[in-house]
Amino acid sequence: MSIFSIFKRGLEKSATKLSRVVNGVFSGIKAHNAASFDDLEAMLISADFGVSAAKKVVAGIRDRYERGKIATDADLIVTARDEVSAILKQGMRDIRTVPDGELLVILMVGVNGSGKTTTIGKLAAKWKAEGKKVILGACDTFRAAAVEQLQLWGERTGCQVISSKHGADPASVAFDATMAAKSRGADILLIDTAGRQQNQQNLMAELNKICRSIGKVLPGAPHEVWLTVDASLGANVINQAREFGKTAGVSGLVLTKLDGTGRGGMAVALHEEFGLPTFFAGFGEAPEDLQEFDPEFYANALFGLEK
Ligand SMILES: Nc1nc2c(ncn2[C@@H]2O[C@H](COP(=O)(O)OP(=O)(O)O)[C@@H](O)[C@H]2O)c(=O)[nH]1
Ligand SMILES: [Mg+2]
């Protein structure tokens, strides 16, 4: 299956929803129905775009329409696609790199169930297959089953897992994992964390402490802190992202569970709000369902267009 078709299949429901939204809007506009642009904005908001992105997309459409560049529904959809693609490209960059022979550390953060451990497993599979030496650090010591879940991924992918017992200090596991990855000459260390604590403040303090102990072993690390965002949850995730972004030094996003929910518009809202790059998109539970985020593929698939 081509990569574009994975985006397309994953975003099928979102595309159906959006086509319902956009279809027929143009006839309203042509009939000089002044409410049409407002209706479109409201419909995009209901398709999870968020207020700011919805306004931007509508402004782009309006501008082109007033310059006589939109004559059909199809023109309107293509314009909307272009606007969305521009929003999704905001903040996009490559994953940070380190000099050859040095260790890259990526910390995965996010609320419980958002897909941290699964994403780490999928990334381990991907990078291992590319010939990288990958080590996993099991710093979610809060949930008893979390370490075993990561260990299972370790076995599946043939990557070593550094762990301690349930309830151990996550920062000390992070320290040990970084030491081990460094001394074993690993290329990439992926660190799993807990998504829940007694309260949010404790969780943020814990994440900060994990970062500091990684940095003690390897100054400048973690090089990336990725927030996994369960796109199927809708607008709630904006608040989550804000919270984590404020205190955990998030440097990028991984969007999970885009498959089957029809909430693909969330990506647009998140990019508009945070300007953070999305590095990967999860369209299912299998390793091949995690794909590098491609703003153009995404925008096309979201509107049911071909690439
Ligand atoms: N459909 C779907 N399920 C996913 C995706 N990513 C993760 N999951 C599932 O979501 C659940 C929670 O994932 P997990 O990695 O344990 O979340 P964590 O608590 O953040 O570590 C698991 O059942 C995963 O298989 C995805 O992209 N699509
Ligand atoms: Mg987990």
Residue whose C-alpha is closest to residue 120's, from 191, 178, 175, 194: 191
Residue whose C-alpha is closest to residue 218's, from 257, 272, 174, 255: 174
How many Cβ atoms are within 10 Å of 184's Cβ, its own excluded? 13
d(CA 78, CA 307): 11
Q: Which atom of ligand 1 is nearest to the CA of 260?
A: 1
Query: Ligand 1 pocket, 195 CB below 6 A?
Result: yes
Residue whose C-alpha is closest to residue 139's, from 104, 181, 107, 183: 107
Q: Dump pLDDT digits (tens) for 5-60.
A: 999 999 999 999 888 877 777 777 777 666 788 889 999 999 999 999 999 999 99
Q: Which ligand is nearest to the CA of 195?
A: 1
Q: Which atom of ligand 1 is nearest to the CA of 111?
A: 20
Chain centre to alpha carbon of residue 291: 10
Angle among Cα 10, 61, 81 to the nearest 5 degrees reads 20
Q: Dump pLDDT digits (tens) for 70-97.
A: 888 889 999 999 999 999 999 999 999 9
Give me the chain's average pLDDT, please. Answer: 93
Q: Dump pLDDT digits (tens) for 125-138.
A: 999 999 999 999 99
Measured by CA distance, the residue closest to atom 1 of ligand 1 is 284
d(CA 300, CA 294): 10
For a mutational test of ligand 1's pocket, the pick from 118, 233, 257, 283, i.e. the residue with the most ligand atoms closer than 8 A to its C-beta, is 118
Give me the pLDDT at residue 198, please: 75
Calculate the alpha carbon distances from 195 to 25, 107, 123, 222 in Å. Answer: 42, 12, 19, 18
Query: Ligand 1 pocket, 222 CB below 6 A?
Result: no
What is the pTM assigned to this prediction?
Answer: 0.95
Query: Ligand 1 pocket, 114 CB below 6 A?
Result: yes
